[in-house]
């Protein structure tokens, strides 16, 4: 079994890729639930990193549905309304809402893979090559 600590974007996308490739995976996350904490604002998703990971996770079509169209357009105006910089978006770094992206990744994993309320406090290497993880909730 492969253990991942943290159900952030990195941990979730890794778990999804391992899962669809037939690996047994668990995520231990310190937050009590998926909605325990606001996840912040917008993310721009680069072709060679974020988008490549989503593609590898088999979720690209679903991801495109949450893209904020023209969210990558950018303008700087002064207080008189004069435009100093105007960039039209080119969709190379589309903007998505972090919470929505995380929710999509969570929903893409079977129930039970994410163990909420497990804050890792220590990792100990055992003589047989295994590892023991201790959690703040007293489990290990
Ligand atoms: C202000 C800001 C803006 C950003 N903008 C962009 C952007 O526009 N585009 C982009 O691609 N990237 C952006 N990033 C980077 C992106 O957020 C990170 O690459 C991504 O979140 C990393 O994922 P992660 O899973 O490694 O970490 P995180 O998303 O930080 O998740 C870590 C998870 O681990 C949990 N955790 C922590 N400690 C423990 C523990 N001891 N035991 C169990 N669980 C634990 C946390 O609760 C959390 O859920 C931005 C980052 C910041 C800070």
Q: How many angstroms does the Cα of residue 39 sit away from the middle of ligand 1?
A: 9
pLDDT of residue 22: 97
User: Which numbered atom of ligand 1 lies nearest the CA of 49?
Assistant: 11
The confidence band for 56, taking pLDDT boundaries of 50, 70 and 90, is very high
CATH number, domain of 103, equals 3.50.50.60
User: Which residue, chain included where needed, has tokens 């893979």?
Assistant: 113
Q: How many angstroms does the Cα of residue 28 sit away from the middle of ligand 1?
A: 15
Question: Does ligand 1 come within 6 angstroms of the Cβ of 31?
Answer: yes
DSSP state, residue 80: T
> How confident is the model over 105-123, as a mean pLDDT?
97
Closest CA to 122 of 138, 107, 109: 138
45 located within any domain: yes
The domain in which residue 13 lies consists of 2-135
The confidence band for 69, taking pLDDT boundaries of 50, 70 and 90, is confident
Q: What's the CA angle centered on 21, arms 5 and 64, to 5 degrees?
A: 80
Q: How many angstroms does the Cα of residue 17 sit away from the middle of ligand 1?
A: 18
> How confident is the model over 58-73, as a mean pLDDT?
92
Residues in contact with 82: Cβ distance below 8 Å, sequence separation at least 6, in sequence order: none
State how far Cα 130 lies from the chain centre: 27
140 located within any domain: no
Distance CA 107, CA 38 (A): 17
Please count the structural domains in the chain. 1
pLDDT of residue 122: 97
pLDDT in tens, 27-49: 999 999 999 999 989 999 999 99
> How confident is the model over 97-125, as a mean pLDDT?
97
């Amino acid at each position: 079994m492969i253990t991942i600590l943290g159900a952030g974007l990195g941990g979730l996308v890794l778990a999804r890729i391992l899962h669809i490739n037939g690996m047994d995976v668990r995520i231990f996350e310190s937050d009590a639930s998926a909605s325990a904490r606001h996840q912040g604002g917008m993310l721009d998703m680069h072709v060679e990193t974020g988008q490549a990971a989503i593609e590898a996770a088999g979720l690209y079509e679903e991801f495109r549905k949450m893209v904020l169209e023209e969210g990558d357009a950018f303008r700087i105006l002064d207080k008189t309304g004069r435009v100093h910089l105007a960039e039209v978006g080119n969709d190379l770094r589309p903007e998505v809402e972090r919470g929505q992206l995380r929710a999509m990744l969570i929903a893409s994993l079977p129930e039970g893979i994410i163990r909420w309320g497990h804050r890792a406090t220590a990792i100990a290497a055992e003589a047989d090559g295994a590892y023991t993880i201790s959690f703040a909730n007293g489990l290990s």
